[in-house]
Amino acid sequence: MHRATGDAEANKVLNDAVAYIRSLAQLRGRNADWAEQAVRGASTLTATEAAQTHVIDFVASDAADVLKQASGRQVHVGEQPVTLALENQPIHNYAPNWRTNFLAIITNPTIAYVLLLAGLYGLILEAFHPGALFPGIAGAICLLTGMYALQMLPVNYAGLALMTLGVGLLIAEMVSPTIGVIGVGGVIAFVLGSVMLMNTNVPGFSVNLGLIAGIAFAGIGVLAMILWLVMRARRAGRATSDPGMLGAAGVLLGPTNARGEGWARINGEQWQVFADSPLAAGSHVRVVRRDGLQLWVIPESLSL
């Protein structure tokens, strides 16, 4: 029942289109039979064949030839017949303005793709470093500009969704490193989404494959570095364990008080330290004992 209804609606739409194109061809004195074939069977013609079958009036080599051949022909403007007098008329070329040039640049599929990525990564950097401002502002501008360009292009939204998923998986790998499964899945999803992003059936509307490959290799490099850092961290011992802290050198941030208490920078961290003798700020000390978060130190000269 539903299929029969759908076929009836499709036939009605087709017949309406045929009736419209035939009436338009007859009104303009064109080949109505071929116009119907063009609608029903997507028929095509070369320029010469179109002129021979009276689908078009003539074939011209350039703008001056168009004016020459059109001159003397009669057309209707509303209900009034008008004879064209176009031969030897001046031709003016109007260059596109800055807005048209700007839109032509950002609607290039590769440029739109780069803007989209720059926007995503800018917002990600801002999220990881709140208050940096520049990555967030630049990322938001690039993302909105890229989205404007995408809505003017034949975008495959499944590809866009895969790209977003890939970026999300790569971020998840950076935040919670695994053995690389999430990151590899992110790279694969990102590459597939990038390839599918534009409707490549339309000539000229595709992202440069070299750019996609470069970004994919960069993602693989970042993933490999993350995995290397994770494995190195797992192999290394805890820097703040007792064996790791004993004998560590540091510098007092201020003088010790009457009880020998003070603060020192040891292994790049700030620790509360205790000394048996008064020590001045800037003194070099060495750890001899640890009790929880408190370290006992002696002047480095005494440890030699």
* DSSP state, residue 302: G
147 lies in the same domain as 163: no
Q: Are residues 138 and 193 in the same domain?
A: no
Looking at the DSSP bridge assignments, the partners of residue 295 are 273, 290
Is the residue at 131 inside a domain?
Answer: yes
**Residue 1 predicted with pLDDT over 50:** no
42 part of a folded domain: yes
Lowest average pLDDT, out of 83-87, 178-182, 189-193, goes to 178-182
Last residue of a domain, one of 236, 251, 282: 236
Residue 278 confidence (pLDDT)? 83
Whether residues 182 and 218 fall in one domain: yes
Q: Between these two residues, 259 and 95, which has the higher pLDDT value? A: 95
The encoded tokens of residue 130 equal: 């709140």
Q: Looking at the structure, do residues 159 and 140 belong to the same domain, yes or no?
A: no
Summarize pLDDT for 79-119 with one digit per residue, the tens: 788 888 888 888 888 888 899 898 888 888 889 888 988 88
**Residue that finishes a domain, picked among 215, 236, 257:** 236
Q: What angle in degrees, to the nearest 10, is found between the helix axes of 209-235 and 181-196? A: 170
For residues 191 and 228, membership in a common domain is answered with yes
Top pLDDT among 138 and 7 is at 138
Residues 181, 225, single domain; the answer is yes
- What percentage of the chain exceeds 90 in pLDDT? 2
**pLDDT at residue 2 is higher than 60:** no
Same structural domain, 143 and 160? no
pLDDT band at 141 (very low <50, low <70, confident <90, very high): very high
Whether residue 202 is found in the same domain as residue 260:
no
State whether the Cα torsion 60-64-66-72 is positive or negative: negative
Predicted TM-score (pTM) of the model is 0.54
Q: Note down the domain range covering 220.
A: 154-236
Cα dist from 299 to 29, 165, 246, 258, 304, whole Å: 106, 56, 14, 16, 10
**49 within domain boundaries:** yes
Tell me if 22 is assigned to some domain: yes
Residue-wise pLDDT for 223-240, tens only, equals 777 777 767 766 655 544
Residue where a domain stops, chosen among 130, 153, 176: 153
User: Does one domain contain both 110 and 52?
Assistant: no
Is residue 105 located within the same domain as residue 137? yes
Residue 76: HSE in the Cβ half-sphere, 13 Å Cα cutoff: 6
Could you identify the residue written with the tokens 């866009």?
Answer: 160
pLDDT number for residue 193: 87
Condensed to tens digits (0 to 9), the pLDDT of residues 38-73 reads 888 777 778 888 888 878 888 888 888 888 888 888
Domain total of the chain: 5
Which pLDDT score is estimated for 4?
54
Q: Distance between the two ends of the chain, CA-based, in angstroms?
A: 97
CATH number at residue 263: 2.40.50.140
126 inside domain = yes
Residue 94 domain-assigned? no
- Within a domain: residue 93? no
Residues 11 and 67 in one domain: no
In this structure, are 115 and 148 located in the same domain? yes
What mean pLDDT do residues 17-28 have? 83
